[in-house]
Structure 1
């Protein structure tokens, strides 16, 4: 019962993390910068993995898509590949996790379901690592440009999408680890139960053998003075 509850908690954590990681791809604010006036913000510059935009004080946004994928900076291409890989791995991990859980009716025997659930945990851990690496790489580029005194172009700060990606990656890693640990506990408990049943069966068989062998010890005869 405890392992089933752990699997349900792990599945909910991993699904939540996968949804958060998936939501970072269309999120606008991967990096953001603003130009403040005397009273209001006159313009806000922001960018993500697909385009760069500017929003004026009236709320009108003008965006420009990245012209060519081959002409992009290397860190943006790497972040795109890592985040898309994280989303794809999370999808397959959710499918395997649903099949491998004990509370579902598909997946075959308990041993097969345990292997599938362990595989799902490893896939979710890998998905979380991909998302964590992609967000950290993007954040490292922003911070290095921001604190570089020789960088004279527009400087940006960390956007909301990075924090969402880090949170989703953490949930995927934690949920995948719970999946793996719950399977390890199940295997240990099954081995202990098998050893205990074997011992009882051996003892019961020995008892039956001893009880089935007739007692050939001759009866002792005592005379009337035996208890004197």
Structure 2
């Protein structure tokens, strides 16, 4: 449990350094690597905590069902269930940290101009024709259907 607490503490410090809103840590690629390292710390912390809770639960159940054990017997309590839930959440959070920052490893930038730029570009091409110097007549009115924009047009 001590190693789980230490790994979680260092993971939290690395999470603060790897956030995009902080000025510590350098470029976006460096911050992505720091955040992935933070996720690994959280995964290891969750595994250590899960192991410690499971070993203690095994000890409690083996002593409880042992007929030769004469000392006071304990039962599984809320602290063990909270420990298991916390360790699973720590592991899931670590995976989320690792997989959410994979975009920082590639240096591609995309820009979205929106559906209005698509409409104005189509309108200009239709009205002007292939040669920009010769305008053509307006096309006949067509019924509007949202199928021409794809599924992300209204987002």
TM-score by length of structure 1 reads 0.45
State the partner residue of 2:2. Answer: 84
> Structure 2: which 5+ runs fail to align?
111-155
Give 1:148 shift: 2.0
2:69 is matched with which residue: 139, 147, 151? 151
Say if 2:24 is the partner of 1:106.
Answer: yes
Say if 2:33 is the partner of 1:115.
Answer: yes
State the partner residue of 2:53. Answer: 135
Say if 2:99 is the partner of 1:177.
Answer: no
Q: Distance in 2 between matches of 1:187 and 1:110?
A: 8
Larger CA Rg, structure 1 vs 2:
1
Contact 2:29 2:104 in 1 (8 A): no
Q: Distance in 2 between matches of 1:162 and 1:105?
A: 39
Q: Distance in 2 between matches of 1:152 and 1:176?
A: 42
If asked which structure has higher relative contact order (CA below 8 Å, sep 6+), I would say 1
Contact 2:32 2:102 in 1 (8 A): no
> Structure 1: which 5+ runs fail to align?
1-82, 194-228
Cα shift readout 1:85-109 (whole Å, capped 9, x = no counterpart): 1111111100101111223222100
